[in-house]
Structure 1
Amino acid sequence: MWKLKLSEGSDPWLKSVNNHVGRQFWEFDPQLGTPEERAQVENYQNEFTKNRFQMKHSSDLLMRFQFARENPCEMKLPVAKVKREEEITVEVVDNTLRRTLRFFSTLQTEDGFWPGDYGGPMFLLPGLVICLYVTGALNTILHYQHRQEMRRYLYNHQNVDGGWGLHIEGSSKMFCTVLSYVTLRLLGEEMDGGDGSMEKARKWILDHGGATLIPSWGKLWLSVLGVYEWSGNNPLLPELWLLPYLFPAHPGSLFLHYLQIL
């Protein structure tokens, strides 16, 4: 079962100026949890997959389940159910605020921060996987359970039409659709795997002109992977980084504009 590790760092190569405060990562422990708890976790995963088109975000259910086990908090105060035009008393407001404080206190870590899923951009994970693959460290750094959950994550955020958006609620774009498809293949997914999801993704790419229509940032990643010629990339003079950041041609400004038009 997965366990969220908080504000820890045992790797001698991993340094932090604040003693890892605020750091969070998931670690897989096959011996963790009772059979009932593991079944509950599997149920959360299945429910999210089943309802992924109605609820795009994971709602941090696995984290909340873990915190409820480690830091239980009894909600003995009554739930306020106020009907329309009913007078709201001071007691109702007080009980509601107390329940709210108790609830959020169970989600707070010992060093004060609230962890949560960074469930937004769909263009970050592919870069990590491609880098690990080209350096030959993919299976060393990412164990089977990590690769399995990464595949689940990508499938859960695939749109109905077969593509992927720039973020988990975005409409399908060539940029993230190509990178997500490539990432799934690198993570061990078969060409026709995913109960038809891979075929749908491939069809979306072909129907919209093919992978060569991916934007420049995507072409760069494909070139790093060795499946796209470097000559197909638009060159960028390194001296442009010396310009003031507010200059329209500064790479940083171009990057922000690039994200806006995707």
Structure 2
Amino acid sequence: MWRLKVSEGGGPWLRSVNNFLGRAVWEFDPDHGTPEERAEVDTLRRDFTRSRFHKRESQDLLMRMQVLIYCVSRLCKLVVYANLGFKLQHLPYNSQIIYCMQYAKEKLLQVQVDLPAIKLVDIAQVTEETVLTSLRRALSQHSALQAHDGHWPGDYSGIMFIMPILIFALHVTGTLNTVLSREHRREICRYIYNHQNEDGGWGTQVLGPSTMFGSCLNYVTLRLLDEVDNEALIKGRAWILLHGSAAAIPQWGKIWLSVVGLYEWFGNNSIIPELWLVPHFLPIHPGRFWCFCQLIYMPMSYLYGKKFVGPLIPTILAIREELYSIPYGEVDWNKARDTCAKEDLRYPRSLLQDVIWTCLTKFVEPVLNCWPVNKLRDKALKNLMKHIHYEDESTKYIGICPINKALNMICCWIDDPNSDALKLHIPRIYDYL
């Protein structure tokens, strides 16, 4: 059974400024929990899969169960002293734990019974008593989810492209089999299958309709995890081909597929790294962008400048022929560059944007790749790596979000596959799984 480890860490490749307070990592332990608890978890899994099209968001039931039991087992002794007037230390340790667990379940049941949910449609007038009852119920449930170190752990779920980009980073750096155990792979596949829409595609987020971005990235993830043709994969591939193939994936998707070798860099709009060398006072300097924007496009610029492509293993070559309606070698990348599936198009580009991207792609990028101007690119890439290393070191290799964490990890591997930076990145992958 999966066990939630809170405020734990250590070893030469894990760093923390607060002794890992607030860190929550899942670890599989086949002997964790009682047989009844493991059976209950299996039941919860089956129930979620059965109702996945009607109740798609995660409920964090396993985390809630474990956090509650852990907290109560730590604090229950004091409550028992106050309410029952005897000392638990006179009992054997195992008896103490059993008693605390029983007491915890009774208290949880008591909270649910004594504090019923009150809805405005069910009452004629809102009184002070109903407001206080609702507040007590909310505070009781919220405090029950607090971990023993004081923080509130939660699942980083809902966004359906987070898991794929982490898998892509592990694949590219050759650490996929090292980091992911068999149970990790099984759970990741279960998660992706559970959030596949009825039409066969995957959304950008769990509650959304199918998109080319979500469908391509999750399909490729399953294939990289050695999933072969099954009904879900066949339906997913059919959705992709029916809606324009991977050539119609939006810009972020084009970049990620280019990194793993499933799309050509020529089919991307230019993300010139030289932009980071312009004076900072200019409004076009990326350092003036919103923090998430600058810290994500910073490593993207590095990857674009390098035109990096991951290892072309047989699986990647096979996926190339699965994602497109025509042979991979016949795809018109010039046309694909500005192609976006209507399911992914939130706002059409303006004429000004079209002019800017065309100028960057047709004129600026070719010039920057010619000698002696290409010396400037080398300088820009070195400058970007300094920024990337600074970001990694200041966040202890967690990053501002999993997106730039995965991108930075790939950049560190490109810069030096044997670097300490890569070794410091790897343990922090578990923080996002």
TM-score, with length taken from structure 1: 0.85
- 2:13 corresponds to which residue? 13
Query: How many Å separate the matches in 2 of 1:21 and 1:119?
Result: 21
Structure 1 residue 69, shift from structure 2 partner: 3.0
Structure 1 residue 2, shift from structure 2 partner: 0.3
Question: What are the ranges of 5 or more consecutive residues in structure 2 without an aligned counterpart?
Answer: 73-103, 295-339, 348-433
Query: How many Å separate the matches in 2 of 1:125 and 1:238?
Result: 27
Query: How many Å separate the matches in 2 of 1:229 and 1:89?
Result: 64
What SS does structure 2 have at the residue aligned with 1:240?
Answer: helix
Read off the aligned partner of 1:228 and give its amino acid letter.
Y
- Is residue 194 of structure 2 the alignment partner of residue 156 of structure 1? yes
CA displacement, residues 211-249 of structure 1 (integer Å, 9 cap, x when unaligned)? 122122222222221232222222211132456699478
Read off the aligned partner of 2:164 and give its amino acid letter.
P
Structure 1 residue 32, shift from structure 2 partner: 0.7
Query: How many Å separate the matches in 2 of 1:208 and 1:155?
Result: 20
Structure 1 residue 116, shift from structure 2 partner: 1.0
- 1:45 corresponds to which residue? 45
Structure 1 residue 134, shift from structure 2 partner: 2.1
Question: What are the ranges of 5 or more consecutive residues in structure 1 without an aligned counterpart?
Answer: none
- 1:238 corresponds to which residue? 273
- Is residue 178 of structure 2 the alignment partner of residue 143 of structure 1? no
What SS does structure 2 have at the residue aligned with 1:27?
Answer: strand
Determine which of 205, 208, 218 is the counterpart of 2:240: 205
Query: How many Å separate the matches in 1 of 2:281 and 2:27?
Result: 39
- Contact 2:167–2:221 (CA<8 Å) still a contact in 1? yes
- Contact 2:254–2:268 (CA<8 Å) still a contact in 1? yes
> How many pairs were matched up?
257
- 1:85 corresponds to which residue? 124
- 1:173 corresponds to which residue? 211
Read off the aligned partner of 1:16 and give its amino acid letter.
S
Structure 1 residue 11, shift from structure 2 partner: 3.4
What SS does structure 2 have at the residue aligned with 1:261?
Answer: coil
Indicate how the Cα distance of structure 1 residues 260 and 210 shifts in structure 2: closer, same or farther if over 3 A, else same.
closer
Query: How many Å separate the matches in 2 of 1:18 and 1:171?
Result: 41
Query: How many Å separate the matches in 2 of 1:226 and 1:80?
Result: 55
Say which structure, 1 or 2, has more relative contact order (CA 8 Å, 6+ apart): 2
What SS does structure 2 have at the residue aligned with 1:41?
Answer: helix
- 1:65 corresponds to which residue? 65
Read off the aligned partner of 1:188 and give its amino acid letter.
D
Determine which of 346, 361, 364 is the counterpart of 1:261: 346
Of 245-254 and 119-128, deviating more is 245-254
Indicate how the Cα distance of structure 1 residues 29 and 89 shifts in structure 2: closer, same or farther if over 3 A, else same.
same
Determine which of 137, 142, 149 is the counterpart of 1:104: 142
- Contact 2:56–2:206 (CA<8 Å) still a contact in 1? yes
Read off the aligned partner of 2:41 and give its amino acid letter.
V
Query: How many Å separate the matches in 2 of 1:204 and 1:255?
Result: 30
Q: Report the structure number with the largest CA radius of gyration.
A: 2
Query: How many Å separate the matches in 2 of 1:23 and 1:245?
Result: 38
Query: How many Å separate the matches in 2 of 1:98 and 1:58?
Result: 24
Structure 1 residue 29, shift from structure 2 partner: 0.2
Indicate how the Cα distance of structure 1 residues 247 and 168 shifts in structure 2: closer, same or farther if over 3 A, else same.
farther
CA displacement, residues 142-165 of structure 1 (integer Å, 9 cap, x when unaligned)? 001001111111111111111111
- 1:229 corresponds to which residue? 264
Query: How many Å separate the matches in 1 of 2:136 and 2:244?
Result: 56
- Name the Cα RMSD after superposition: 3.0
- 1:23 corresponds to which residue? 23
Query: How many Å separate the matches in 1 of 2:9 and 2:158?
Result: 25
Indicate how the Cα distance of structure 1 residues 231 and 260 shifts in structure 2: closer, same or farther if over 3 A, else same.
closer
Query: How many Å separate the matches in 1 of 2:181 and 2:151?
Result: 28
What SS does structure 2 have at the residue aligned with 1:162?
Answer: coil
